[in-house]
Structure formats: C-alpha cells, structure tokens
Amino acid sequence: MFDVSKLEWTREPQSCTISADKIEIVTKPNTDLWQRTYYHFQNDNAPVLQMKTGEKFFSFTVKTEFDSKRRFDQCGVVMYLDSDNWLKASIEFENEEYQHLGSVATNHGYSDWATTAIPASVKSMWYRFSRREDDFCIECSDDGVRFTQMRVCHMWEAAGEISFGIYACSPGNSSFKATFTNMELTACKWQAYSED
C-alpha cells in the first residue's frame, strides 16, 4: 500500500483532507507552476504534495478526479525538485468544448508544454510516473489498465534523490476540488529499451 505518511507539502492548498486511500485538495486562485518560456512570466506557487526517494527505478500510479471549470485549472502528477527543475502532467481545463491533456518539463528555469486536445467532459484520468535513473516517462490511462505514453524526458538535476507526488492548482481566479485515489508505488513498469 502507498504510505501517505511519507508525503510532505511544498506549499499548502486552500484546504485538503488526507486518508490512507484518498487525498482531496481544494485549490487556491492564482496558483501555478510555469517558468519563462513563451509567456515570459514565472509562477512558482502551486500546492505540491510529495515524498522523497533515492530509488533509481520505480513507478508511481495515481487516479485523479476533478471538477475543474475555469481556464487552466489542473491536477496531476509532479516531480518538483526546485523552482527551476520540475516535471508535471495533468489535464488543463480550457473551455466547455475541450481541455488539454499534457505535460511540462522544466529544466534550468525553462518550461516546455506538450499537449493534445481532449473533450471537456473528461473528469478523471490515471497517470503513471516512472523513473529509470535520471530519465523519466509519464503515461496516462482512462481505465487504469491500458496506459499510453505522454512523454519521455531527461531531467538534468534528477541524478540523485528526487521528490515526486501530486499537485493541483488554479492559475486563474478559480478554485476547485481534485481527488487522488488508487495511489501505488511499484517496481519500474517502464521497461528498458530493446531493439528486439
């Protein structure tokens, strides 16, 4: 079972409840994680709940459910090392028609954003965050069984101990509840590369 007692806050949300099998976060308005690229602004105040590990090979899986309703409301998985080095994946609400399923890798103070549009009616998503030394894979799933790759990336400052977990934020003047369940920490499910 996933041990929630090992989780620590880097900035707390508006409110939260934590039990052994469920975490609920209510976001504060005007909270986000973003660094420099394209928009030029920097925002580093999203609530992040993580645990530390020096383990080089593992996978962390979690199911998210959310009632996001304002542009850029988001919740998902995160590896937050410091303000200039982090990785996140989430669904970001856009409008009543569609939202963005995507991920952001931030290395040395610059963020990228890789997305795909999905229907706004989607209100839950599973994520699997996997580590193989200082390389990482994020996958998503609508049923917790079949996972699809979202991103593979290298994180320059993630060679040693890292912190990883969950986050939720509302970059606009908004607040919503994000629910995290089915948290599981396992041996790495991201298989080593083979040409066969």
Reading the chain (196 residues) residue by residue, the pLDDT tens digits are: 689 999 999 999 999 999 999 999 999 999 999 998 877 778 999 999 999 999 999 999 999 999 999 999 999 999 999 999 999 999 999 999 999 999 999 999 999 999 999 999 999 999 999 999 999 999 999 999 999 999 999 999 999 999 999 999 999 999 999 999 999 999 999 998 887 7
Hey, how many other C-beta atoms are within 10 angstroms of the C-beta on 61?
21
Maximum alpha-carbon separation in the chain: 50
Query: Is residue 21 in a domain?
Result: yes
Q: Name the residue type at position 85.
A: N
State how far the alpha carbon of 69 is from the alpha carbons of 49, 66, 158, in Å.
22, 9, 34
- Sorted by sequence, the CB contacts under 8 Å of residue 196 that are 6+ apart come out as none
Query: Is residue 195 in a domain?
Result: no
Query: Is residue 151 in a domain?
Result: yes
Closest CA to 176 of 99, 61, 117: 99
Domain that holds residue 104: 4-186
Query: Is residue 170 in a domain?
Result: yes
Q: Name the residue type at position 160.
A: G
Q: What's the number of domains the chain is made of?
A: 1
Query: Is residue 194 in a domain?
Result: no
> What's the whole-model pTM score?
0.96
Q: How far apart are CA 9 and CA 3, in angstroms?
A: 15
